[in-house]
Structure 1
């Protein structure tokens, strides 16, 4: 009886109400439009799938081989209306999906010219550096990746690099790599973008929900790729300013980059230079 009651109560939790979504529709200013595109694309795919399955089943039943049938069934070729339908309908579907996707992508990727906060994120094997430029103040955090806890002990997440963001403040992310290809991904924000050596990619969003979120690298980047995690703390603007005051002033730039073809062990040398043991910390 108690187990049944507990199961019923879990249906009222906020996580269950979200269903399959990794976040609510208010996580960022783009969450709702991205969720709608995803859900409606799945609905369209399901409808097309049901129609295709129904047509296949109907053909298998209606044109099945009867007991007294001899030889092969009559073949039909060059049926222009049928061939035209099989060409036009897929084209309409593909261009329709492309149109909706392009509209959403254009909206999401539109630059925010008056964003008061620019965060330059450097991905590196296997951690993250964060540069903050906010209303004339510059600060940085250089992360050293925490080791995986193979025993499953609690507290490992607290040692990860933390990205702080102010709620309801537009953020311009500049995404770079110090060594190999990485990918900046906050699943609950429903957006991710590649980080490529020698190239700067951009991401624009406004966090709209305070709380802690998970971040990770979504591009296989080497031996400790699975450890390349970080925390995201969306806090009030006042608390964000306090966090900036606690960080190292100034910015860290491309001087810490390395060429993996010339120096494949550069990531570990970087850690030695920082003189920070694996397990978390900043420089």
Structure 2
């Protein structure tokens, strides 16, 4: 390969799981052209910063050393939930020349990511098989095939890759293609891929918010039930209070009537003893 091939091919790619490198790809023909750059060391130095950031898709400029050739490190990461409830952070990293089409790189990153998630789920489903370790090692072949396939089809797909994107090379063809839309109206494929990756995170936040609202709704329903119970209890208490009040009034009335009756009886006895019973004849006729 010549130096012009730096503009069409990846130099290095790696996939890490929870910051542990699992699979790597290295274009041994291009590495000498960038002064035998130690790509694995560069990735190791930048991986901590990449995994700690909130950015799901991004790039970091790097230098190849004494030759002072500018390169770019691209990354894409995603958190997945396993069947046992645990979570894993998958990070795919590539190193390439700045003039390599950005959409090509992002397409490779996304296809490697999607294929590994599918591959990992299949491996978990068949975890009881004795050849699980061998099957896990097969993914490197898939990773290499994805990279080679996308690079081989780069020329035939160049119009698709170039649509709405801009490269640093400033080729006339790219200028003509991107000139179909003004800068303010361009729909960048890089932005579309980034938005696609961020959908899962937004969906997760929405689900959490919905769960919080449902939980809050349960609490509100509980408060409503308690209020209903308090209202019912208050109504029962009021009825019982009225019944007790009525009973007390009746008892008081009976007591007054008994007192009045007793007073009249005593008065009758006193008058009868002086005037004669039963009609007070002595007092009336005397």
Which structure: greater strand fraction? 1
Q: Which has the higher contact order (CA 8 A, sep 6+)?
A: 1
Which structure has the greater CA radius of gyration?
Answer: 2
TM-score normalised according to structure 2 size:
0.20
Which structure: greater helix fraction? 2
TM-score normalised according to structure 1 size:
0.20
